[in-house]
Amino acid sequence: MLSIAITGANGQLGQSFRATAPLFPGLELKYFNRTEFDVTNQTVVQEAMDFYRFDYLINCAAYTNVVGAESNIEAANLLNGVAVGYLAQAAQKNKTHLVQISTDYVFDGNKLEPYRPTDLTNPLNVYGQSKLLGEQLVAQYCDRFSVIRTSWVYSEYGSNFYTKIKSRADQGQTLWITDEYIGTPTYSPDLAEHILSGISKDNLPLGISHFAGKDVMTWFDLARKLLPGADIRVAPKETPPLLVNRPKNSALAR
């Protein structure tokens, strides 16, 4: 039976793995929150990896506050970049297959079509830069790895676009949602199932790949899809200065 570590187990994707795991009885998943496995502590990372000797490590620990990253550059780079380097070095030493979750925000959004894994990266914000650093460190330290970029992840778990707008809608609020950006919204349990299926079948893509929803849409479109009965309206166009620069098109092609 393959042994799999899940870091960041209390987050949205970590909870999605818990929900999806029963579909894969041949896999043994062990979940770690930050107090149990602090990925930002290199000594802890190396000792844990030496002790457990997992077949796979799926890193769900991440700094995901895109706006907050702009004023917390060091924290974003530590969790999304430097810590990933620690995991990559430990994975290489123990012959563990590292699965790193990355983002559509490594792109600048100037392309007219969905981005492919081979397209050039050019992140516009600190969050995207920190996630790109993580990608680069994985490739630097690991011989066998899977970096999976995804887009606009949502679910009923944790804090994300869906749970935030649902809370406001449940309170009877009008939802003002932007239609200025396009992406490929991804249901978090679908991403978890994609990864576990790839591991169980031994065909998880190596190197950099994309996994995202099949439909290209705006945040406004997604809100209407998720909450068809809510009062949802197009938000006024954003005007400078913006809190953070975001790619206008971050749709991903698989």
How many CA within 13 A on the CB side of residue 38? Answer: 7
For residue 59, being part of any structural domain is answered with yes
Total domains, the chain: 1
Specify whether 127 is catalytic: yes
**Does 75 fall in a domain?**
yes
In a domain, 237, yes or no: no
Answer whether residue 248 is part of any domain: no
What is the structure's pLDDT at 239? 62
- The pLDDT assigned to 243 comes to 79
pLDDT at 171: 94
Q: Are 20 and 193 in contact (CB under 8 A)?
A: yes
Q: What is the DSSP string of 75-123?
A: HHHIIIIIHHHHHHHHHHHHT-EEEEEEEGGGS-S--SSPBPTTSPP--
45, amino acid identity:
V
User: What local confidence, expressed as pLDDT, does residue 254 receive?
Assistant: 83
Rounded distance between C-alpha atoms, residue 189 and residue 154, angstroms: 9
Report pLDDT for 20: 96
- Are 9 and 63 in contact by the 8 Å Cβ rule? The answer is no
CATH label of the domain that carries residue 121: 3.40.50.720
Q: Which of 127, 154, 162, 187 is catalytic?
A: 127
Structure tokens belonging to residue 134: 């993580």
Regions of the chain with pLDDT less than 70: 239-241
Q: Domain range holding 41?
A: 2-155+185-214
- Residue 241: the pLDDT is 61
Q: Is residue 111 part of a domain?
A: yes
